[in-house]
Amino acid sequence: MVRSNLGLLASCGAAYWRRLATSAGSAASADANSAVAATKQLTGVAGRYAGSLLRVAMKANQLNEVHRDVDALERLLRENPRIEEFLRDPTRSQVAKQRALEKLLDAAGVQTVFVRRLLDLLADNRRLSHVSQVLHSFQSVIAAQRGSTQAVVTSAVPLTEWQLALLRQRLQRRFYPDMPDARVDLITRIDRDLIGGFTVQLGDKFMDLSLKSEVRRLRDELAQQV
């Protein structure tokens, strides 16, 4: 069902999306081919939605506009974590979430129909819990095409500039030892539930250095000894 509904993002009333793509002219064909290659690195539910958004944006020659909207939306969610908590809350009605979604899009200044339709589709498929992952997946592909990689760093408290610089250096050395020019851009988020420490999501790699996971590990060890 999800796979079939994903086609709505690319066709979404096939005539409507075809008309948008056609108006962009044949100059977008090379970019469309590039998008197909780029989306191969996207996996999972979030990756499929992000890949669909990337393809239609490039086909319509609106990648810069879509990237601007995605960037604004992701930044707003990052600065206001309670918004995403609300969208993820299973006790909230779909009507309430739809209203919150409209306010979110307006607050972020989203202008492209592609991004608005993407969030509508996530809401229709009850996938709003994947909003951040979808936006990050899209950003990761754009960053990779521009010679950089994005890592999401989630910490219990804000990290200092020195800590972020050190972490960026360590990530570059660990994952790109043979690429001295590789650049890792850090996206920071706050999650008080981590208690202390931080987690890092870099592509499909995940590192959990939080106090929360350490407490959980100790609790599990104690439970096994009882």
Q: How confident is the model at residue 213 (pLDDT cuts 50, 70, 90)?
A: confident
One domain for residues 19 and 52 = yes
Domain stops at, among 113, 141, 169: 141
In a shared domain, residues 171 and 98: no
Are 159 and 126 within one domain?
no
Q: What percent of the chain has pLDDT over 70?
A: 77
Q: Are residues 117 and 32 in the same domain?
A: yes
pLDDT exceeds cutoff 60 at 15: no
- What pLDDT, in 10s, does the model give residues 72-116? 998 888 888 888 888 888 888 888 888 888 888 899 899 999 999
The reported pLDDT for the residue numbered 6 is 47
Q: Tell me the C-alpha distance between 149 and 55, whole Å.
A: 20
Same domain, 44 and 104: yes
Q: Which of 115, 141, 167 is the endpoint of a domain? A: 141
Considering the domain architecture, whether residues 80 and 152 belong to the same structural domain is answered as: no
Separation of alpha carbons 214 and 14, rounded Å: 50
pTM: 0.57
Residue 166 banded pLDDT, cuts 50, 70, 90: very high
| pLDDT value of position 115 | 93
- pLDDT for res 20: 35
Max CA separation in the chain (angstroms): 69
170 lies in the same domain as 76: no
pLDDT at 36 over 90: no
Beta strands at 148-155 and 197-202: parallel, antiparallel or unpaired: antiparallel
Give how many domains the chain has, as a whole number. 2
What per-residue confidence (pLDDT) applies to 80? Answer: 83
Two structure tokens written together for 82: 């309670």
- In whole numbers, what is the pLDDT of the chain averaged over residues? 78
- Could you write out the three-class secondary structure of 168-219? HHHHHHHHCCCCCCCEEEEEEEECHHHCCEEEEEECCEEEEEEHHHHHHHHH
Q: Which two tokens stand for residue 214?
A: 């350490």
β-partners of residue 197 are 210
Please indicate, yes or no, whether residues 211 and 124 belong to a single structural domain of this protein.
no
Examine the pLDDT at 64 and tell me if it is beyond 80: yes
Domain that holds residue 69: 2-141
In the structure, what pLDDT confidence band is assigned to residue 31 with cuts at 50, 70 and 90? very low
Question: pLDDT value at position 226?
Answer: 63
pLDDT of 162 higher than 80: yes
For residues 86 and 181, state if they share a domain.
Answer: no
Tell me how far apart the alpha carbons of residues 119 and 132 are, in angstroms, rounded to a whole number: 11
- Which has the higher per-residue pLDDT, 80 or 18? 80
pLDDT digits over 115-141, tens only? 999 998 988 888 888 888 888 888 877
Q: Both 37 and 67 in a single domain?
A: yes
99 and 135 inside one domain:
yes
4 pLDDT more than 50: no
Q: Which of 86, 107, 141 is the last residue of a domain?
A: 141
Given a contact cutoff of 8 angstroms between Cβ atoms, the answer to whether 156 and 192 are in contact is yes
Same domain, 132 and 171: no
